Amino acid sequence: MTTAVGSVFSAVLDPVNRHDPYPLFTSLRREPVSVTADGRYVVSTFDAVSALLPDPRLSSAGAVTDLVGLPPSFLMQDPPDHDRLRRLAYRPLGPHWVADLEPKLVALAGELAGDLRPSTVDIVDDFAYPLPIRVICTLLGVPLADEPRFRVWIDRALTAVQPDRGALEELAEYMSELTAAPGLLRDLAADGGMSRAELVSTAMLLLIAGHETTVNLIANSALVLLRRPLWCDRLVAEPGLEIRFVEEVLRHDPPVQMLTWRTALDDIPVAGTTIPRGASVTLLLAAANRDPARFAHPDRFDPDRRPAPHLAFGAGIHYCFGAPLARLEAQVALRTLAPILAGARLLEDPPEYRLSAVLRGPRHLRVALDPPSTLS
């Protein structure tokens, strides 16, 4: 059974509700599968979303048209091309790539924290953004000195209602020039398994996805600490708690709220409704992660809850390529920030949020740091 939910889903997309979309998700979850006035199928319960994520009848290809003369990244492709490109992208990293990064991550987080002097600071601009951007630039061989240039292009591409073709073209040209620099991109080029266009498309995906969602994950985690300082004390006193804490942030306030680029390749029955062939489908990860049929007291933030799988990283062949790195970066960030934010005061609540309904996180987190929090 479906129901017209255009006004509720439109409210989810409206930036005015970005600070708290969860009551809207609760309303949408009354029907596992709903249809908007324009024929989009919106899926919101845990069971329905988790059933569709790995379903090969739900395609990720074709929903995003060619914008800059490049093939879609593997994120927007189906097998066999998806499998080939994803495998090639992963091959140069090796089995221990994330573990090998941890000492460098800890040192970098400590360096950034050391620059947070007692004053008014922006946790996003001064910590949550520079940590993952420096890591992904190092991995790919992207000069950090170029960050002001490509940050503008990425912001223009992600915040516009329609992707900014000019920004994407400039980013594509820039990434193409970097394939000879030491790093993952040069390794991918040397492998020879990708065409030049596929290499540039993959490079753009890795740069953008390699930091954007992690910025939001760290910022969402920091916001919890600022609103509930007791967690700062517990994170300091209980080594290892940061692992459960990050998983609860991923469940409770995921940085990727929804997947909007799926298309039904066949009639797909799910939760008593048949999604017709050719229909556009949106999977609401954030709504599914707060489904009371799956999680007890789902709106309560509780890292002590019994572990249960969430859908923040998706599932199936499109399970987040960078999930291990994102988890580690957020865990290191929490260990570093907890003693600092224990004495901080959030200056704007709710904070200013990014415009995107897909990638949700504070655009800024301005706080006042007391001297004891950084000098102790």
Q: Give the dihedral of Cα atoms 333, 231, 241, 22; nearest 10 deg.
A: -80
- pLDDT value of position 373: 39
Q: Has residue 196 been placed in a domain?
A: yes
- The stretch 258-284 carries a mean pLDDT of 97
Q: Which two tokens stand for residue 149?
A: 């240039």
Q: How far apart, in whole angstroms, are the C-alpha atoms of residue 278 and residue 264?
A: 5
Count of alpha carbons within 13 angstroms of residue 38, beta-carbon side = 8
- Give the closest residue to 43 by CA, choosing from 266, 291, 227: 291
Q: How far apart, in whole angstroms, are the C-alpha atoms of residue 43 and residue 291?
A: 12
Domain extent for 59: 6-375
Q: Has residue 234 been placed in a domain?
A: yes
Q: Has residue 107 been placed in a domain?
A: yes
- Residue 118's pLDDT band, with cuts at 50, 70 and 90, is confident
Please check the confidence at residue 113 and state whether its pLDDT lies above 60: yes
Q: Has residue 82 been placed in a domain?
A: yes
Q: How far apart, in whole angstroms, are the C-alpha atoms of residue 220 and residue 47?
A: 25
Please check the confidence at residue 81 and state whether its pLDDT lies above 70: yes
* Beta-carbon contacts of residue 15 (< 8 Å; ≥ 6 apart): 353, 355, 357
Q: Please, what sign has the CA dihedral across residues 281, 285, 288, 290?
A: negative
Q: How far apart, in whole angstroms, are the C-alpha atoms of residue 370 and residue 376?
A: 10
- pLDDT value of position 158: 80
- pLDDT value of position 159: 72
The label of the residue with tokens 């020879």 reads 192
Please check the confidence at residue 189 and state whether its pLDDT lies above 70: yes
Q: Has residue 308 been placed in a domain?
A: yes
User: What number of other Cβ atoms are within 10 A of residue 195's Cβ?
Assistant: 11
Could you tell me the CATH number of the domain that includes residue 193? 1.10.630.10
Specify the higher pLDDT residue, 158 or 266. Answer: 266
Q: Has residue 353 been placed in a domain?
A: yes
Please check the confidence at residue 375 and state whether its pLDDT lies above 50: no
Radius of gyration of the chain (CA): 21
- Mean pLDDT over all residues of the chain? 93
- Residue 267's pLDDT band, with cuts at 50, 70 and 90, is very high
Q: Has residue 1 been placed in a domain?
A: no
Query: What is the tally of structural domains in the chain?
Result: 1
